[in-house]
């Protein structure tokens, strides 16, 4: 059986090469109904069946090579879902191709899809649908071999009364033509045709449908690819402004570091606020949280991150959950290199400093489950990868690569290796061991004994499998952007016994700070013993950090003010914080898990009932994945 601990598919025996979806989006009944036709390559002689992953699908019929076939849906595994077994004709030879069509519908239990009522959108006039398939939810949207070790091309014909977007190249109607092909939005059905000619892992299959419009970004001379942005009409101006400066420049710069962009189109889609991530690198179409629209272009690092996945993840893919760090660690490392190239060297260090705080928090969160403190995690079959999701693969991973860069002699000798790495494994799915073997092989060919000695000086065991709260090596970063934030935090710390009326702080203390410096200021404050409540309230009223639209700053303020659960400040701000993430009861929750899970966890420590009641009130407005994980955080489920 195949290695992927999260899949029941027999993809080492027979694997999908292409899948064709014919879907109708049924907003009234909140389901997708249609079919998936797989072109499968037989990889071993005489296999008796093909096994797909599914979760909560209702099957209507199965055809193999155009003929009606029997099938069996096995009982549901709580994490992996129900394996779909389809018998195949006997005597199949390795190398042959076979076609299987499954007609099915999604159900209310579908964890991949969130169906939003019109009230939960910006425009309040039309419903909305979007998917989130990473890590293991594609199987809830369609029967697939749901492992990143399987790379598939896909085509799709999606009939919808609202414009439909997919993680592929649109064939028709044209993106820059009239919205919804000139038909009546919300009423007339239009069939959208997409094609993804590059094999991608199933977790990158994505769909969104709603009242969305497109604005192309200016083209860069000499570039074949196009970039642009989708959002509801109410946000398109703000979204275009936030990202039009940087997106194409970042993509072009990443091409200079690695190899040319292969997907032809790189579009962004700003989703409604319940989207559970900051960004998701769906092929050709990155999904984004609207919390990035800060109005000051300070959160473009998320764009740098998601577009970097075009090479690390969407090009070279982790073989399965144990090697997830290859996607995120590499992407985070390159994201920060882009910040250095396009913004300033100091920004790279600054980003590592911010990452380290998040890393430290998450390492502490897992003190009782030290296995998840590892970079390379050995999952048991059927273990939930979402339980292990944290900043650890991102920041331990990025630090390992940075440590390698420095140990091997800096960017001049490291970047040619990066290019070789990507070119070698482009289109493949690999393990940590394959990555490491290539690294050694490359430096044997380019540098020899001296470089191998450098590589041997790395404590691989500690980096891959080390537990505990520290990195194996003490890392130094450019801290020039952090200094002013540290100084101000220090002043607050040393004034803790001064009466409020005698404090010399002023509303304009933060004026010269970027948003990120404000974040670092508040994080630094958290590293001290909590300030008296009177000081916290004074700080909030001076700096307006509890009412800012910048969610990054607001999150840090709440974490800081809730740090001493029994204090009056914690009582006061816990209620505010909970109200913030449930959108004040408007249905517009702050669904990005980085914000809502952290806030619910912090509020839970202050007042369990407050956290639980707030969540219960708006539970159904959260994405099914966020709902599941918040329920665990609040001990409502295990
Ligand atoms: N691919 C991830 C999101 C993801 C990972 C979803 C695992 C489901 C399972 C995406 O690229 C990501 O890392 N998003 C970050 C953005 C950030 C690090 C800039 C996020 O959402 O916070
Ligand atoms: Zn990522």
pLDDT at 1 over 60: no
CB within 6 Å of ligand 1 — which residues?
134-135, 277-281, 302, 305-306, 309, 328, 389, 394, 594
Enter the tokens of residue 550. Answer: 């910048």
Residue nearest atom 20 of ligand 1, based on CA coordinates: 278
pLDDT band at 585 (very low <50, low <70, confident <90, very high): confident
Measuring CA to CA, which residue among 202, 169, 190 is closest to residue 4?
202
Q: Do residues 30 and 114 touch, judged by C-beta distance below 8 A?
A: no
pLDDT band at 73 (very low <50, low <70, confident <90, very high): very high
d(CA 393, CA 377) in angstroms, rounded, equals 10
Average pLDDT score over residue span 220-241: 98
Q: Please give the model's pTM, rounded to 2 decimal places.
A: 0.98
- DSSP, residue by residue, 472-526: SS------TTTHHHHHHHHHHHHTTTS-GGG----GGGGTT--HHHHHHHHHHHH
In tens, the pLDDT along 452-474 reads 999 999 999 999 999 999 999 99
Plot region of 410 (φ>0 → left; ψ -120 to 50 → alpha; else → beta): left
Q: Do residues 325 and 317 touch, judged by C-beta distance below 8 A?
A: no
Ligand 1 atom at minimum distance from 592 CA? 21
pLDDT at 638 over 90: no
pLDDT of residue 405: 98
Q: Do residues 559 and 530 touch, judged by C-beta distance below 8 A?
A: no
pLDDT of residue 2: 65
60 forms beta bridges with: none
d(CA 522, CA 486) in angstroms, rounded, equals 9
Task: Say which ligand is closest to the CA of 302.
Answer: 1
Average pLDDT score over residue span 309-335: 98
429 forms beta bridges with: 317
Helix (H, G, I), strand (E, B) or coil at 173: coil
Task: Say which ligand is closest to the CA of 594.
Answer: 1
Ligand 1 atom at minimum distance from 134 CA? 8
- Compute the half-sphere exposure of residue 102: CA atoms within 13 Å on the CB side of its CA: 26
Q: Do residues 153 and 197 touch, judged by C-beta distance below 8 A?
A: yes
In tens, the pLDDT along 190-211 reads 999 999 999 999 999 999 999 9
The average confidence (pLDDT) of the chain is 97
d(CA 199, CA 153) in angstroms, rounded, equals 4
Residue 470 class from Cβ within 10 Å (0-12 exposed, 13-18 middle, 19+ buried)? exposed
Helix or strand (DSSP H, E) at 192: strand 190-201
Enter the tokens of residue 482. Answer: 């952090």
Neighbours of ion ligand 2 (CB under 5 A): 328, 331
d(CA 352, CA 481) in angstroms, rounded, equals 12
pLDDT band at 173 (very low <50, low <70, confident <90, very high): very high
Plot region of 400 (φ>0 → left; ψ -120 to 50 → alpha; else → beta): alpha
In tens, the pLDDT along 403-447 reads 999 999 999 999 999 999 999 999 999 999 999 999 999 999 999
| Chain centre distance of CA 322 | 17
In tens, the pLDDT along 104-120 reads 999 999 999 999 999 99
Ligand 1 atom at minimum distance from 281 CA? 11
Residue nearest atom 22 of ligand 1, based on CA coordinates: 278
In tens, the pLDDT along 496-510 reads 999 999 999 999 999
pLDDT at 221 over 80: yes
Of all residues in the chain, the percent with pLDDT exceeding 90 is: 98
In tens, the pLDDT along 523-565 reads 999 999 999 999 999 999 999 999 999 999 999 999 999 999 9
Residues annotated as part of the active site: 306, 394
d(CA 468, CA 195) in angstroms, rounded, equals 45
Average pLDDT score over residue span 357-371: 97
Task: Say which ligand is closest to the CA of 324.
Answer: 1
pLDDT band at 295 (very low <50, low <70, confident <90, very high): very high
Measured between alpha carbons, how far is residue 554 from residues 358, 540, 561, 628 in Å? 15, 10, 11, 24
Which of the listed residues 112, 201, 278 should we mutate to test ligand 1's pocket, taking the one with most ligand atoms within 8 A of CB?
Answer: 278
Cα 628 to averaged position of ligand 1 atoms, centre (Å): 17
pLDDT at 155 over 60: yes
- Rounded to 5°, angle at Cα 183 from 178 and 184: 115
d(CA 242, CA 244) in angstroms, rounded, equals 6
Which of the listed residues 130, 131, 279, 288 should we mutate to test ligand 1's pocket, taking the one with most ligand atoms within 8 A of CB?
Answer: 279
Pairing of strands 265-270, 285-288: parallel
pLDDT of residue 176: 87
Enter the tokens of residue 331. Answer: 């992407």
């Amino acid at each position: 059986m195949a290695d992927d601990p999260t899949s029941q598919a027999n993809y080492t025996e027979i694997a999908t090469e292409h899948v064709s979806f014919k879907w109708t989006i049924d907003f009234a009944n909140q389901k997708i109904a249609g079919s998936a036709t797989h072109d499968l390559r037989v990889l071993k002689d005489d296999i008796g069946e093909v096994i797909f992953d599914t979760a909560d699908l209702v099957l209507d019929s199965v055809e193999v090579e155009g003929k009606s076939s029997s099938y069996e849906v096995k009982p549901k595994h709580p994490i992996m879902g129900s394996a779909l077994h389809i018998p195949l004709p006997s005597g199949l030879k390795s190398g042959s191709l076979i076609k299987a069509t499954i007609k099915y519908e999604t159900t209310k239990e579908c964890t991949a899809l969130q169906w939003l009522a019109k009230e939960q959108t910006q425009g309040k006039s039309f419903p909305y649908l979007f998917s989130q398939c990473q890590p293991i939810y594609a199987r809830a949207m369609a029967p697939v071999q749901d492992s990143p070790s399987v790379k598939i091309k896909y085509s799709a014909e999606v009939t919808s009364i609202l414009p439909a977007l997919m993680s592929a190249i649109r064939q028709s109607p044209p993106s820059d033509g009239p919205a919804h092909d000139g038909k009546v939005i919300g009423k007339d059905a239009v069939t959208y045709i997409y094609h993804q000619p590059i094999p991608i892992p199933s977790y990158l299959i994505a769909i969104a449908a709603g009242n969305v419009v497109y604005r192309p970004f200016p083209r860069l001379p000499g570039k074949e690819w196009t970039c642009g942005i989708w959002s509801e009409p109410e946000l398109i101006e703000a979204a275009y402004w936030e990202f039009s400066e940087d997106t194409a420049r970042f993509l072009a710069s990443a091409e200079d570091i690695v190899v040319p962009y292969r997907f032809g189109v790189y579009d962004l889609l700003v989703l409604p606020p319940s989207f559970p991530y900051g960004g998701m690198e769906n092929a050709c179409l990155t999904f984004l949280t609207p919390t990035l629209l800060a109005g000051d272009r300070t959160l473009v690092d998320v764009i740098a991150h998601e577009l970097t996945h075009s090479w690390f993840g969407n090009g070279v893919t982790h073989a399965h959950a144990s090697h997830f760090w290859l996607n995120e660690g590499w992407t985070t490392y390159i994201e920060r290199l882009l910040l250095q190239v396009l913004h300033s060297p100091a920004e790279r260090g600054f980003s590592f400093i911010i990452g380290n705080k998040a890393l430290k928090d998450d390492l502490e969160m897992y003190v009782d489950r030290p296995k998840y403190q590892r970079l390379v995690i050995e999952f048991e079959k059927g273990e939930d990868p979402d339980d292990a999701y944290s900043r650890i693969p991102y920041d331990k991973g990025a630090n390992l690569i940075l440590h390698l860069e420095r140990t091997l002699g800096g960017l001049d000798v490291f970047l040619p290796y990066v290019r070789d790495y990507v070119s070698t494994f482009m289109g493949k799915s690999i393990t940590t061991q394959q990555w490491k073997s290539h690294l050694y092989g490359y430096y044997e060919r380019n540098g020899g004994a001296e470089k191998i000695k450098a590589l041997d000086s790395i404590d691989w065991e500690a980096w891959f499998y080390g537990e505990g709260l520290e990195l194996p090596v003490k890392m130094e970063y450019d801290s020039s952007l952090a200094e002013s934030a540290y100084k101000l935090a220090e002043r607050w710390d040393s004034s803790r016994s001064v009466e409020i009326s005698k404090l010399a702080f002023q509303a304009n203390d933060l004026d010269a700070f970027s948003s990120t410096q404000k974040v670092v200021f508040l994080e630094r404050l958290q590293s001290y013993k909590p300030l008296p409540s009177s000081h916290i309230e004074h700080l909030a009223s001076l700096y307006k950090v509890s009412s800012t639209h910048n969610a990054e700053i607001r999150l840090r303020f709440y974490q800081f003010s809730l740090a001493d659960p029994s204090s009056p400040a914690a009582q006061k701000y816990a209620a505010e914080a909970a109200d913030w993430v449930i959108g004040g009861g408007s249905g517009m929750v702050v669904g990005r898990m980085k914000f809502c899970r952290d806030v619910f966890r912090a509020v839970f420590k202050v007042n369990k009932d407050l956290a639980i009641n707030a969540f219960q009130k708006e539970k159904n407005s959260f994405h099914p994945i966020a709902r599941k994980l918040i329920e665990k955080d609040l001990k409502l489920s295990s």
